[in-house]
Structure 1
Amino acid sequence: MNLLKQWNKVHRVCCLLLIGVTMLSVSSCNNNEDVFDKHFVHSVYIWLKNPNNQEDRKQFEVALDKFLKTSKYAKTNFVGTPAGTDREVVDNTYTYNIVVTFSSKEEQDLYQKEDAHLLFIEEASSLWNKVQIYDAVGLD
């Protein structure tokens, strides 16, 4: 009987530790370090030459992923495709939308010249026929 009580105590302690570790894990997942930075937003729209060619899309996405993972200056990023919203004011003709944020215009200027960005352009520019960029700074 004494052994059973000891087992129950060990079991309770283990359960409490497991709950604590789980709560810390969930808390750290919700505490996103990559908070959207409103100081400088760089919105890029790209039209691929052959948007229906899956190999071109894969090649573009691999180059883009490598670039976004290695950029020293891009704080946060979003990559998307047209949402299929059908309204007169919506342009759904692009293939990819990339939104990258920076702490400042100066950081964005450095990003334009960094090796990771230049390599991405070298690897992927043959795949697109149009790029449109909108840069914005946040309102205070």
Structure 2
Amino acid sequence: MKYRLLVLAGIILLSCQSFYAQEEKSYLDHSFTHVVYFWLNNPESAEDRKAFEQSLSKFLSVSKYPKTKFIGVPAGTPREVVDGSFTYSLILSFSSKEEQDLYQEEKAHLIFIEESEHLWNKVVVYDSVGILKT
């Protein structure tokens, strides 16, 4: 009986560690964020959107430097201070500026740009380093 309780406690402990490890991955790394806004040439084209999304997803699935990854579209929040004119947003976090520098030269990143740059007419990037952990 004592053995079964120890095994059960071990399973619960491992499950909790696994859960918290997965949970931890979903939090934004506060060290460095790379925020990119894309304006597609033909934002109404389902074919262009599909091509862009597939290329971006393929790239992010193999990129080894970002700690967290977010792909978004305008949220439809019409307020004077909100710019919803972009087609897609990409928000990545990195553990350091040095990791982000490596990402910029990463083969997967360069292939994504080569594959997709014909789809957009404007890209704006905002890079930030964290000063406070919330």
Residue 33 of structure 1, CA deviation: 4.0
Aligned residue identity for 1:53: S
Q: What secondary structure does 1:122 align onto? A: helix
Alignment of structure 1 residues 37-48 onto 2, 5 Å:
37-48=29-40
| Structure 1 counterpart of 2:5 | none
- What is the alpha-carbon distance in structure 2 between the residues aligned to residue 33 and residue 63 of structure 1? 27
Aligned residue identity for 2:102: L
State the number of aligned residues. Answer: 121
- What is the alpha-carbon distance in structure 1 between the residues aligned to residue 93 and residue 108 of structure 2? 16
Question: Runs (4+) of structure 1 moved beyond 4 Å?
Answer: none
Higher Rg = 1
Q: What secondary structure does 1:88 align onto? A: coil
CA RMSD of aligned residues (A): 2.0
Give ranges in structure 2 of 5+ residues lacking alignment: 1-7
| Structure 2 counterpart of 1:123 | 115
The TM-score normalised by the length of structure 1 is 0.79
Query: Does 2:102 align with 1:133?
Result: no
Residue 28 of structure 1, CA deviation: 3.8
Residue 74 of structure 1, CA deviation: 1.1
Give ranges in structure 1 of 5+ residues lacking alignment: 1-16
Residues 72-115 of structure 1: per-residue CA shift (max 9 Å, x gap):
11111111000001111110000001000111001101100000
- What is the alpha-carbon distance in structure 2 between the residues aligned to residue 52 and residue 70 of structure 1? 28
Residue 36 of structure 1, CA deviation: 1.5
Report percent identity of matched pairs: 57
